A and B are shown apart, each in its own frame.
Chain A
Amino acid sequence: MGIVSKLLAPFRSTLENDVFKALVELANLSSTTCSMLIRMIESDNKNLVRKISKNERHGDEIRRNVEKLLFEGAFLPQSRPLFFTLAERMDSVIDSIEDCAKIYEAAQQIDEEIKRRVLHILDVTKEACDCFCDALLSFFRGDERRMQEKIAVINEIEARIDDVKHEVFKSMVRSRDKCFWKEKCMEDFVDSAEEISDKLQDAADTLSVIAASMKV
């Protein structure tokens, strides 16, 4: 690095910009992967698991890149652990989408009613993923009000998904089909679909904490 670049370094936000771009990419990737999972279940095309796994690996790369940028000095030291956590939580959203896809792939047969309800859960989760992208962009644009609105929507969606999950479990308990492995697969499937929104809510909470901690 030349002397001029060194002198101007504190005035620039190159590393921070790179972190911002990487986080937005990670958020968009989670939304795309969620759409892919919906398509996979709707069309019963189990080959899409490979594409979802590829996205998951790409998500890991982006997370590692964010961590590297933070180690290189992006943001002030007191904010770094929070951005580190945010990247990890956003990556875990994609991990849980992959889990759901793999459980669906492994399941022999899923009850149509359960499938319909899980698709509903995933549709709403996709909406939450888009809200998270919007919240992240609003945060970096400095529009905290919009960010908080979007985070509130994510929390509301998560509560709705919880309700749907409990309804699904109730209907599973009431069903006459008592095959343990079939029930186990369905339960895991519903659980994994619900977990995506849980992870998304965790990421949204971290974003909220970052916004609060960066205020003067």
Chain B
Amino acid sequence: MMVLHFDGELTLLLLSLAAVCILNLPLLAVMPVRCEVLGKKSSIAMFLVAILLGFYVSGNKVMTTVSSEIAKIDSTGFLMASALTFLIMITLSLRDIPASVQQVMVMCIAGIAVGSCAAINTGKIVEIVLSWIGSILLSASISLLLYPRLRSVFNSLTPLKREAGMRVFMILVLFLLSMASGSSTVATAVSPLSIVTDSKAVLAGVVMVFAFFGVIARYWLFHAIPPRLLDNLDVSAVALVQMSAALSVFLFSLVGMPVSINHAVFASLFVVSYLKDIRILERKVIRNFVRNGLGVPLLSFIAGAVVSAIM
């Protein structure tokens, strides 16, 4: 049975969720459109179906972890966490700093719990932080294992079959990546909403609506441009990078861990560019990645603690 507290609270939650979806969801799932393998409509349809599937398969576990296993805070605390996530994500995106919704949300909740002297599950937070590192390592390992195999399979095909195979591979990657988004990013973004409603159908509806507007806005605003770093790689390598990240994130979400797709992509990109002997990731980029990976969660934690202490 759906239980809603008051309109303002819900509106703010939905707004935060929308912003998070618009900023993050379709960031990587644009390659088939860019390569004209799928039309925008088919791509959006597949994206939404896969997001919903991912959300249903393992999103629930991630939602439970974020909403009830990190800390015992009330709905106002979650409202604050959601609004803070929204603000931090918007600010970082405007400054072109890649950040993970999962990291920001988890650390905001932890910060709010500390600031309001609520019970906090330190073991769970350590587990989540370890899973962030684990997902990076897993994504890199998957790339390391898959790259030589993928290369030998594709290179043994005739050019025409290779082209057809590449198209199918890109569609598969779009599906996997969208599923991973649904099971991790969307589930994390929706988790505060699970406090005010216990209906999975309502949550799924909200996910679909905001994922839809998110992907439309992303296409409209950014003309389906994938991250700049990936522009230096060929299509097959980009697809492999995304597949490794998607598999890694999906596997972690199956055990209820909210891990970042962006960070998994970065790790996989590092491995693939090393194997291809292409220097894509300069020292400055790696330094920024490490700095943001450490700095953004810390900033979110401090922001959460300060805001909840003031309020």
- Chain A residues within CB distance 8 Å of chain B: 6, 10-13, 16-17, 20, 73, 75-79, 139-142, 211, 213-216
With beta carbons under 8 angstroms apart, the residue of B158, B164, B235 that contacts A78 is B235
Contacts of B150 in A (CB 8 A): 216
With beta carbons under 8 angstroms apart, the residue of B154, B164, B235, B236 that contacts A13 is B164
- In the assembled complex, how far is the CB of residue A151 from the closest CB belonging to chain B, in whole angstroms? 15
> Are the CB atoms of B158 and A76 closer together than 8 Å?
no
B8 within 8 A of A: no
Contacts of A77 in B (CB 8 A): 34-36
CB closest residue in chain A, given B154: A216
- In the assembled complex, how far is the CB of residue A78 from the closest CB belonging to chain B, in whole angstroms? 7
With beta carbons under 8 angstroms apart, the residue of A10, A17, A215 that contacts B37 is A10
- A78 touching B34 in the complex, CB below 8 Å, given contacts A13-B161, A20-B160, A142-B158: no
Contacts of A16 in B (CB 8 A): 159-160, 163-164
- A17 touching B160 in the complex, CB below 8 Å, given contacts A216-B155, A216-B236: yes
With beta carbons under 8 angstroms apart, the residue of B36, B42, B154, B164 that contacts A11 is B164
Sample 27 A-B pairs with CB under 8 A, ordered by A number: A10-B164, A10-B167, A10-B168, A13-B163, A16-B160, A16-B163, A16-B164, A75-B163, A76-B163, A76-B166, A76-B167, A76-B235, A77-B34, A77-B36, A78-B35, A78-B235, A140-B158, A140-B159, A140-B160, A142-B156, A142-B159, A211-B159, A213-B234, A214-B162, A214-B163, A216-B151, A216-B237
Contacts of B235 in A (CB 8 A): 76, 78
> Are the CB atoms of A139 and B164 closer together than 8 Å?
no
* CA distance in complex: A73, B34 (Å): 12
CB closest residue in chain A, given B162: A214
Query: Residue among B34, B42, B156, B160 with the most chain A CB within 10 A?
Result: B160
Contacts of B154 in A (CB 8 A): 215-216
B10 within 8 A of A: no
Contacts of B156 in A (CB 8 A): 142
Number of A-B contacts (CB under 8 A): 62
> Are the CB atoms of A214 and B159 closer together than 8 Å?
yes
* CA distance in complex: A211, B155 (Å): 10
B229 within 8 A of A: no
Contacts of B42 in A (CB 8 A): 6
Contacts of B34 in A (CB 8 A): 77
Contact with A along B155-189 (1 / 0, CB 8 A): 11111111110111001000000000000000000
In residues 1-50 of chain B, which contact A (Cβ within 8 Å)?
A: 34-38, 42
Contacts of B155 in A (CB 8 A): 215-216
- In the assembled complex, how far is the CB of residue A57 from the closest CB belonging to chain B, in whole angstroms? 29
Contacts of A73 in B (CB 8 A): 36
- In the assembled complex, how far is the CB of residue B66 from the closest CB belonging to chain A, in whole angstroms? 36
Contacts of B151 in A (CB 8 A): 216
* CA distance in complex: A75, B37 (Å): 10
Contacts of B167 in A (CB 8 A): 10-11, 76
> Are the CB atoms of B163 and A142 closer together than 8 Å?
no
> Are the CB atoms of A142 and B157 closer together than 8 Å?
yes
Contacts of A139 in B (CB 8 A): 159
- In the assembled complex, how far is the CB of residue A83 from the closest CB belonging to chain B, in whole angstroms? 10
> Are the CB atoms of A12 and B35 closer together than 8 Å?
no
- In the assembled complex, how far is the CB of residue B243 from the closest CB belonging to chain A, in whole angstroms? 13
Q: Which 6 A-B pairs have the closest CB atoms?
A: A142-B158, A216-B154, A10-B167, A216-B236, A13-B160, A13-B164
